[in-house]
Amino acid sequence: MKKLINAVDDVVREQLEGMASAHSDLLKVHFDPNYVYRADAPVAGKVAIISGGGSGHEPMHGGFVGMGMLHAACPGEVFTSPTPDQMYEAAKAVDSGAGVLFIVKNYTGDVLNFETAAELAFADGIRVQNILIDDDVAVKDSLYTAGRRGVGTTVLVEKIVGAAAEAGYSLDACADLCRRVNQYGRSMGMALTSCTVPAAGKPTFELGDAEMEIGIGIHGEPGQKRMPMSTADEIAEMMALEILDDPAYSRTVREWDNDAGSWVDKFLVDEPFQAGDQVIAFVNSMGGTPVSELYAIYRKLAQVCADKGVTIVRNLIGPYITSLEMQGCSITLLKADAEILKLWDAPVNTPGLRWGI
Amino acid sequence: MKKLINAVDDVVREQLEGMASAHSDLLKVHFDPNYVYRADAPVAGKVAIISGGGSGHEPMHGGFVGMGMLHAACPGEVFTSPTPDQMYEAAKAVDSGAGVLFIVKNYTGDVLNFETAAELAFADGIRVQNILIDDDVAVKDSLYTAGRRGVGTTVLVEKIVGAAAEAGYSLDACADLCRRVNQYGRSMGMALTSCTVPAAGKPTFELGDAEMEIGIGIHGEPGQKRMPMSTADEIAEMMALEILDDPAYSRTVREWDNDAGSWVDKFLVDEPFQAGDQVIAFVNSMGGTPVSELYAIYRKLAQVCADKGVTIVRNLIGPYITSLEMQGCSITLLKADAEILKLWDAPVNTPGLRWGI
């Protein structure tokens, strides 16, 4: 294992220290329990947006803390869910009284721990919402998930809902928007190589020199299929069509009801893409693939979208939700209405995404 | 070789097509000869800033075309100098009459071809300046270079001089600033793995599982030394001290004299860093190293700078001058006076760097 790290046990702490040192104008880091939070939190009158998950996906989530995006992020150990006390303490630190929205990627550990944190925060008098991100069309159920995994749409959700909070949306309005953006987004990923979790010291899985894994998860968990290595065009087209042709997807999610003080089930149906849709297209590096190769993927993606009558109106291309040093990419398409586009274009100032400031 | 590409001969063209498709609001791509240029070029009354070099270092240079940075970029084949006609045609396309500044990384092919392009442009009545970037403290002379190589400082120079052009600096003022910023910047890189040039199909060099290369060039050309793999702290400290303790560096460069219509030699001396200096710190990924590991490097770099009495007042952390999918990093420190900081902070709107817009 060759990485720019010191002792394996210190990897997350030291990366957070580096981040705090580099971006003290934007964020602070609290240790034990670990969370990253806006330097100016709590922000008076504004709903606080919090996310979190295992480390190893940087810049997500810690790198998205700042004006117009997250108020706090809770990093677990590498590829390991953060604990409820991280989320609960982060909520107390950044709640302004307007409530806290937890953006939760759909992995079993994350879901359980954010639910516990929501109950703890509510018991303290903080109004909370828990919204699930489950956008990965590759697999239904996986190593760490019941239902679809939460992947690339998370980055877009955090930008859009972060802008809504900044604009003064109420907690319920932020939650409704978050749910809708998740329902509008679909993703799929692929890997050329494995990644190596520092504590494991060896690659999570093995891929032959002429093989690739389609539908890979962001923790290296198995995807749909292992195939012979193919061209950028074939890979982009295969992933784009899985997303664009994905039928309606329905499932029941659990959300918090602040009035009843209990969990409620909601039945959700994500409608498929259709000709005439406008989308934000996000081509993401898994960490080890350089941006030059992402442009080869984007080139074909744009052609496939055009053929389907889907218009790309914004794009994001680069390493934003990574799997350590894994080589590969993911594609996310997000149906964007006027409200979503306006929020996407709003100023943001974080280590990982910045414009307008 | 596993990469997200189609045919090897089409790699650069297709990446440029992807870029043109993704960023049509910012830039256009001209093919045969290939150059990327600002969508709104020529910009009336403003000096045009042009750079270029071999492909494989993205987002540099094409990803830095846009408001507040480059007016045009000339991409060669992977790790191969662009040709004089690319530079000459780009100059004609973006010159507003205020003149053209070529920012030239110090590699023999780039230097010769930019000199030829300058002569061609001047013969056409375009006022030109050619400024060399030679900031790599690792080696004096190398596989492709007489003198120091041009590396990380190039990114910072392009931002700062691009802002100056935007602010209305004259051609000579842009050139003087460019020369000064280069003289204020020093860099050093290291690699954990090789990269694979598509046309070669195999790694440029071999590194053992427990080895690293210190002082690597951005084309995989040999560095100072091959060493046993070490910790992030030791690597960051070693590179930081080579930069901070680098003595005065002198050499003679050739620049164009528009009044005489001929080349003139200039003797330059870069003064060493000293306690009390303010710097911009740039921790760069070679392409395959994720940003999380860069924060481990930044953490130690900040400590070493503090110990030397050097204050980091701005930073840039991420993959900006890459070597395809090479794993590793580089550090650049740039002494920053008030004028440089003001230009650094000015708005920029390119695919690779964006703020204030």
CB B236 within 8 A of CB B304: yes
How many Cβ atoms sit within 10 Å of the Cβ of residue A337? 12
How much is the pLDDT for B142?
75
CA distances (Å), origin A324, targets A59, B155, B290: 10, 25, 6
CB B128 within 8 A of CB B256: yes
> In chain A, which segments carry CATH 3.30.1180.20?
188-244+274-335
CATH 3.40.50.10440 fits A13-184+249-269, yes or no: yes
Of B258, B70, B71, B99, the closest CA to residue B170 belongs to: B99
Chain CA centroid to CA B44, Å: 26
Please report, in tens digits, the pLDDT of each residue of chain A (357 residues total).
999 999 999 999 999 999 999 999 999 999 999 999 999 999 999 999 999 999 999 999 999 999 999 999 999 999 999 999 999 999 999 999 999 999 999 999 999 999 999 999 999 999 999 999 999 999 887 777 789 999 999 999 999 999 999 999 999 999 999 999 999 999 999 999 999 999 999 999 999 999 999 999 999 988 889 999 999 999 999 999 999 999 999 999 999 999 999 999 999 999 999 999 999 999 999 999 999 999 999 999 999 999 999 999 999 999 999 999 999 999 999 999 999 999 999 999 999 999 999
Q: How many residues does chain B have?
A: 357
Closest CA to B174 of B189, B163, B188: B163
How far apart are the C-alpha atoms of A50 and B224, rounded to whole Å?
45
pLDDT for the residue numbered A144: 76
CB contact under 8 A, A290 and B325: yes
Inter-chain residue contact B4 with A59, CB threshold 8 Å: no
The CA distance from A33 to A82, in Å, is 9
Say how many Å lie between the first and final Cα of chain B, rounded: 39
A57 flagged as catalytic: yes
Nearest to A233 among B6, B297, B315 (CB): B6
Residue-wise pLDDT tens digits, B169-208: 999 999 999 999 999 999 999 999 999 999 999 999 999 9
Residue B345 is predicted with a pLDDT of: 98
Closest approach of B94 to chain A, Cα-based (Å): 24
What superfamily does domain B188-244+274-335 belong to in CATH? Dihydroxyacetone kinase; domain 2 (3.30.1180.20)
Catalytic residue among A23, A61, A71, A219: A219
Q: What is the pLDDT of residue B143?
A: 75
Distance separating alpha carbons of residues A171 and A185, to the nearest angstrom: 21
pTM over 0.90: yes
Q: What is the ipTM of this complex?
A: 0.98
Contacts with B319 from chain A: Cβ below 8 Å: 290-291, 319
State whether the Cα torsion B178-B305-A75-A6 is positive or negative.
positive
- Where in the sequence of chain B do the CATH 3.40.50.10440 domains occur? 13-184+249-269
Which residue in A345, A262, A329, A340 sits closest to A290, CA to CA?
Answer: A329
Catalytic residues of B: 57, 219
Taking the C-alpha atoms of residue A304 and residue A239, their distance in angstroms, rounded to an integer, is 10
**A-to-B residue pairs, Cβ atoms closer than 8 angstroms:** 179
Residues A281, B18: Cα–Cα separation, whole Å: 13
Q: Looking at residue B144, what is its pLDDT?
A: 76
Residue A257 distance to chain B (closest CA, Å)? 36
**Which pLDDT value is given to residue A139?**
86
Count of helix runs (H) and strand runs (E) in chain B:
8, 16
Partner-chain contact A298 B22, CB within 8 Å:
yes
Name chain B contacts of A54, Cβ cutoff 8 Å: none
Cβ atoms within 10 Å of B130's Cβ, excluding its own? 23
A5, A212, A351 member nearest B296 (Cβ): A5
| Catalytic annotation, pick one of A23, A57, A61, A71 | A57
Residue among A85, A74, A78 at smallest CA distance from A11: A78
pLDDT < 70 regions, chain B: none
